[in-house]
Amino acid sequence: MTGDGLSPAGTPAGAPILDPEGIVLARFARPRTDEPTRIGVLSDIHVSTRERGTDRLLHCTERRLETAISRLDNADLDCVVFAGDLTKDGEPWNLERFGEIVSALETPFLATPGNHDVPKSFDDHSSVPVETFYERYTPSGLPAVERVGGVDLLVLDSTSLPDGSLHDSHRGAISTRQRDWLDAAASDAAVPVVVTHHNVLPLVRGSLATVEPWNTSTMHDSPAVADRLAAAGVPLVLSGHHHVPAVIERGSLRQVIAPAACAYPQAHLHVEIDENGTTIRMVPHATPTQQRAAYEALQDDRFRRTVSGIIADTIESAPITDERSRPVSVYGS
């Protein structure tokens, strides 16, 4: 990479395309449970009913969500997790449309908000208050514990702080109250898995992680939160926000970033946890033609080309982490 973090030559020629059954992104020795548990993760959907274009292909977001819902329902999952950014920018009409589409989902689900789901000072419209998001998708509020099979999902809200300091930024943080709650919740959980929108561990290393645009994808307080998670014995964090599917490791902590549902490669995750450990599979909800169109939409500026190159490398080198050397069958077979 060059000094500004951008690759000098752009991306590999062409776009690696996911087969319908997807690819194994990672295998971990932990977490594990004697009660096999399957969780779907869908993030960064950015539902938009009135806008077109951009690298998020906003005019396709409703159709991609409908396809993803159908695929998730047919995957024999115990739960679906929506890891934030359900809407373009928290517009009431887009949240309503998300609700209409997701009402077809027969699998139980839960959701945490993303930075694009809560009001921001720079919005040019009246956005839905975070309390309304809670009322619809987390009636007991956040943080919350949800038992799914043999796993306890510890769901955090990384979009809001009591002092309102995130109101002017797309970055995230975990409040002191949630960190204290996490200590107790993780100690009580048989198999704790944390779900949040923003990333605890940065995708890039060193000084690059502190500068725009890379730093917007990581929490302000990421080192402190990572230390808290490690001390609490949390083996896995599921997040979104970055639009780059990735596995990031620090000591015993594993963070899996879900792909953007709306952008290349237009995919979601299947997380399978059993007595052998955890398998993460990335599954598309777009055809090869649609995936190529999404790849092309990332080629208009240098930073997005770099992002597309990282995603392409990830697809071509998967599994990018393998702590369990054993054959993997087609998911659901």
In a domain, 9, yes or no: no
Residue reference for tokens 């419209």: 125
In a domain, 270, yes or no: yes
Percent of the chain exceeding pLDDT 70 equals: 93
Read off the pLDDT of each residue in 66-87 and give the average, rounded to a whole number.
98
Percent of the chain exceeding pLDDT 90 equals: 81
Alpha-carbon distance 239 to 84, whole Å? 8
In a domain, 292, yes or no: yes
Q: Which CATH number goes with the domain that contains 60?
A: 3.60.21.10
Return the pLDDT at 325: 67
In a domain, 8, yes or no: no
Alpha-carbon distance 276 to 30, whole Å? 8
Helices (H), the chain: 61-73, 92-102, 130-137, 176-188, 222-231, 288-296, 302-317
At 13-44, the pLDDT tens digits run 579 999 999 999 999 999 999 999 999 999 99
Read off the pLDDT of each residue in 118-147 and give the average, rounded to a whole number.
91
Three-point CA angle 195, 201, 206, nearest 5°? 170
Alpha-carbon distance 44 to 204, whole Å? 20
Q: Report which of residues 332 and 87 the model is more confident about.
A: 87
Q: What pLDDT band is residue 7 in, cutting at 50, 70 and 90?
A: very low
Read off the pLDDT of each residue in 79-83 and give the average, rounded to a whole number.
98
Return the pLDDT at 9: 38
Q: Does an H or E element contain 257, and which?
A: strand 253-257
In a domain, 277, yes or no: yes
Alpha-carbon distance 95 to 159, whole Å? 16
Return the pLDDT at 327: 46
In a domain, 14, yes or no: no
For residue 142, what are its two tokens? 């956040």
Task: Please state the domain count of the chain.
Answer: 1
Range(s) of the domain holding residue 313:
23-322
Q: Does an H or E element contain 236, and which?
A: strand 236-239
Give pTM, 2 decimals.
0.92
Q: What pLDDT band is residue 244 in, cutting at 50, 70 and 90?
A: very high
At 165-212, the pLDDT tens digits run 899 989 999 999 999 999 999 999 999 999 999 999 998 888 888 888
Burial class (CB in 10 A: 0-12, 13-18, 19+), 303: middle
